[in-house]
Chains A and B, each alone.
Chain A
Amino acid sequence: MLAFLLTLGALLGVVIALAYAERKVAAFMQDRMGPTEAGPQGSLQAVADVLKLLQKEDIVPAAADKKLFKLAPILIFAAVFAGFAVIPFSPDLIPAGIGIGVFYLLAIISLDVVGLLMAGWGSNNKYAMLGAMRSVAQIVSYEIPAGLAILSVVMVCQSLDFQEISYQQGALMNQFPGLEYEMNWLFGIEALGINTTTIGGITTWNIFRAPILLVAFVIYFIASLAESNRAPFDIPEAESELVAGFHVEYSGFRFAILFLAEYSMMVLVSLVAVILFLGSWNTPLPNIGPVALAYWTSGTPGELSSIGWGIFWLLSKTFILLFLQLQLRWTYPRLRVDQLMHLCWKVLTPVALAVVLIAGIWRLLMI
C-alpha cells in the first residue's frame, strides 16, 4: 500500500515536471518564450493547468455509451500504472520483485489497448473511433519490434527479473543472491581478458556488455515512441485530421486522467529503456584503480545512501530520454500510415530478429 502511494505521488510529480518541460522545450525550439506568467519562469503553469482541469464540468455526451465512456479512462490509467509495480528504483527498493517482471510488463501494457478501444467506441464519435483504431493498430504492430529488442536483452542477461538485470549492470553485481560468482568482461568477450566486474560504471551497462544491444536500444526507443503515441508517430492524435484522437469527447477530470496516463506511458517506456539498456540505477562512473568512483556514487545496498543514489541515477537517465522524446517531437514531421507500417514491418522487425540472433551468439562469448 505504501509502495502504491509513493509511486503514485512520485509519478504525479514527474508528470507535472514533464508537462512543464514539454511546453518550455517546444517554446525554445520554436524560438518562443513559452509560459512565463504563473510562478517564476512560468514554472507553476502545469500545476495551474491541473487545477483548471479539476474545476471543469464533467461532460458526458448524450449519445455516448455512458458506462464504457466513464470506465475507459480508469482502465487506461490502471493498465499503465500497473506497469510501474515491477520497476526497481534502487538496489533494494522495488514495489513488487516478481521473477518474471519483464514479461509481466509487456503483458500488462497490452491492457491499455482494450481501454483505448473502449474510449473510442464509448465516445460514439467518428474522430474518436478513428483515433482509437489507428492507435490500437499502431501499438499492436510496434509491440513486436519492441518485444524482440527486449528479448535480446533477456537473452544476454538470462533473466526476466528487472532487479537481477539491474544488478548485472554494475559493480554491485556479486551482491545479488545467485550472481555471487558471475563475471563481467569488457564488451562481454571473455577472450579479451579484461575483467570489468569490479570496475562497474558505464563499462558494465548492457549497451557496453554486449554492444549489439545498442542497435536493440535504438529499435526499442523508436518502438516506444510509437507505443506512447508520440510524434513522429502521433497519427492517432493528428490534430489536423482527427481533432484530438480517441480522447476528443473527454473533458475535465476524465481528460486529466487520460493526459496523466499518456505521460505516465512516456515515463514508463523511458524507465524500461534505462533499466534494460542504460544500466538501470547504476552509476555511470567506473572505479579507476584506487579512485573507487563507482562505489562512492552507488552507496551501500540496504542503507539509505543506496536508495538516494539509485533513485538519482535512475531518474537522471530517464529524464535524458524524456528530453530526447520531447526534442524529437519538434524535429520530425508526422509519418503517414503507410510509412509507419513500412517502418515497423519491413525495417524494424527484420533488424530486431537479426539482433536477437546475434545477441544469442554474443551470450556464448560471455561465458
Chain B
Amino acid sequence: MLFYLFAILAILSAAYVVLTRNLLYAGFSLLITLLSIAGIYVLLFADFIAVTQLMVYVGGVLVLILFGIMLSSRVHNKSVLSESVNKVWGTLVAGLLLVGLSYAILKANIASLPWLQNTEIEVLGNQKSTVQSIGIKLMTDFVLPFELASLLLLIALMGAAYVATEKQNA
C-alpha cells in the first residue's frame, strides 16, 4: 500500500519535472521525486541507501541545482522558461526505451529468481540496520572502486578550487 503511494508520487512528480516549463518548479518537483524514491528504498530494507539519497541528492545536488536556477534565471527581468524541441524524436526515443525496459523486465521473470525465493522475510535478521555489512563490504570486497571514487572526488574538488581561484598573474 505504502509502496503504491510512493510510486505514484514519484511518477507524477517526475512527469511534472519533464512537462513543466518553469525551471524552478521542475527543481522543487524533483524534491518530491527524490523523497518518494527514498521512501521506496526504506520499504526495501535499504535504510542506509535511503538516507544517503537524502544526504547527497536533496542536501547536495538539488540545492546546487536550485542555486544555479535562482542565480541565472530572471536575467533580463523575466523568468527563464525551458523550450521543448525535437518533440517527435524525443517521444520516439522515450517510447522505445519504455518498450525495451518493459520487455526486459517481463522477460526476466523476477518472481522465480532463486535468491529471491530463498530469502527470508526478515531480511535484516538480528541486525538493526544495513550499515555494518555495507561498511565491511566497502573495506574488503569493494575497496578498489571505493578508493577510486574517493580519488575522483578529490580530483573534482581540486579542479573546482583551481577554476574558482582568481588568476592574479594573467
Residues of A at the B interface (CB closer than 8 Å) are: 68, 98-100, 103-104, 106-108, 110-111, 113-114, 117-118, 121, 129, 133, 136, 140, 143, 160-161
> Knowing that A98-B128, A98-B129 are A-B contacts, what are 13 other residue pairs whose CB atoms are under 8 Å apart, sorted by A's residue number?
A100-B47, A103-B52, A103-B55, A107-B51, A107-B58, A108-B54, A110-B59, A114-B58, A117-B66, A121-B24, A121-B70, A129-B70, A136-B67
A210 to B79, CA, bound (A): 54
Q: Contact between B58 and A100 (Cβ–Cβ < 8 Å)?
A: no
Residues of A within 8 A of B52 (CB): 103, 107
A133 to B70, CA, bound (A): 9
Q: Contact between A160 and B129 (Cβ–Cβ < 8 Å)?
A: yes
A68 to B22, CA, bound (A): 13
Contact partner of B62 (CB less than 8 A), chosen from A103, A114, A143, is A114
A-B contact count (CB 8 A): 65
Closest to B64 in A: A140
With A68-B28, A107-B54 as known contacts, state yes or no: A99 contacts B62, CB within 8 Å.
no
Interface flags for B45-58 (1: CB within 8 Å of A; 0: not) read 00110011011001
Which residue of B24, B31, B51, B60 has the most chain A CB atoms within 10 A of its CB atom? Answer: B51
Contact partner of A114 (CB less than 8 A), chosen from B31, B55, B128, B131, is B31
Residues of A within 8 A of B127 (CB): 99
Closest to A161 in B: B128
Contact partner of B47 (CB less than 8 A), chosen from A98, A110, A136, A140, is A98
- For the complex of A and B, list the 7 residue pairs with the smallest distance between their C-beta atoms, beginning with the closest: A110-B59, A99-B129, A99-B128, A107-B54, A107-B55, A107-B51, A100-B129
A136 to B59, CA, bound (A): 11
Instruction: Tell me, yes or no, whether B14 is within 8 Å of chain A by CB.
Output: no
Instruction: Tell me, yes or no, whether B80 is within 8 Å of chain A by CB.
Output: no
Which residue of A106, A107, A136 has the most chain B CB atoms within 10 A of its CB atom? Answer: A107
Residues of B within 8 A of A68 (CB): 24, 28
Closest to A105 in B: B51
Q: Contact between A140 and B70 (Cβ–Cβ < 8 Å)?
A: no
A133 to B24, CA, bound (A): 15
A133 to B48, CA, bound (A): 30
A110 to B31, CA, bound (A): 12
A160 to B58, CA, bound (A): 21
Closest to A72 in B: B28
Q: Contact between B51 and A136 (Cβ–Cβ < 8 Å)?
A: no
Q: Contact between B51 and A110 (Cβ–Cβ < 8 Å)?
A: no
A107 to B42, CA, bound (A): 14
**B interface residues, how many (CB within 8 angstroms):** 21
Closest to A111 in B: B58
Contact partner of A113 (CB less than 8 A), chosen from B48, B51, B63, B131, is B63
A57 to B63, CA, bound (A): 32
Q: Contact between A106 and B66 (Cβ–Cβ < 8 Å)?
A: no
Residues of A within 8 A of B55 (CB): 103, 106-107, 110
CB of B58, distance to nearest CB on chain A (Å): 6
A103 to B128, CA, bound (A): 14
A118 to B24, CA, bound (A): 9
CB of B2, distance to nearest CB on chain A (Å): 15
Residues of A within 8 A of B67 (CB): 117, 133, 136
Residues of A within 8 A of B131 (CB): 99-100, 103, 160
CB of A141, distance to nearest CB on chain B (Å): 12
CB of B68, distance to nearest CB on chain A (Å): 11
Q: Contact between B47 and A111 (Cβ–Cβ < 8 Å)?
A: no
Residues of B within 8 A of A111 (CB): 54, 58-59
CB of B41, distance to nearest CB on chain A (Å): 12
CB of B25, distance to nearest CB on chain A (Å): 8
A96 to B51, CA, bound (A): 15
A322 to B31, CA, bound (A): 32
A98 to B130, CA, bound (A): 11
CB of A147, distance to nearest CB on chain B (Å): 9
Residues of B within 8 A of A160 (CB): 129, 131
- Which residues of B in the span 61-93 have a Cβ within 8 Å of any Cβ on A? 62-63, 66-67, 70
Which residue of A103, A108, A143 has the most chain B CB atoms within 10 A of its CB atom? Answer: A103
A34 to B68, CA, bound (A): 44
29 pairs of residues in contact across A and B, judged by CB atoms under 8 Å: A68-B24, A99-B127, A99-B128, A100-B47, A103-B52, A103-B55, A106-B55, A107-B51, A107-B52, A107-B54, A107-B55, A110-B55, A113-B63, A114-B28, A114-B31, A114-B58, A114-B62, A114-B63, A117-B63, A117-B70, A121-B24, A121-B70, A129-B70, A133-B70, A136-B63, A140-B59, A140-B63, A160-B131, A161-B129
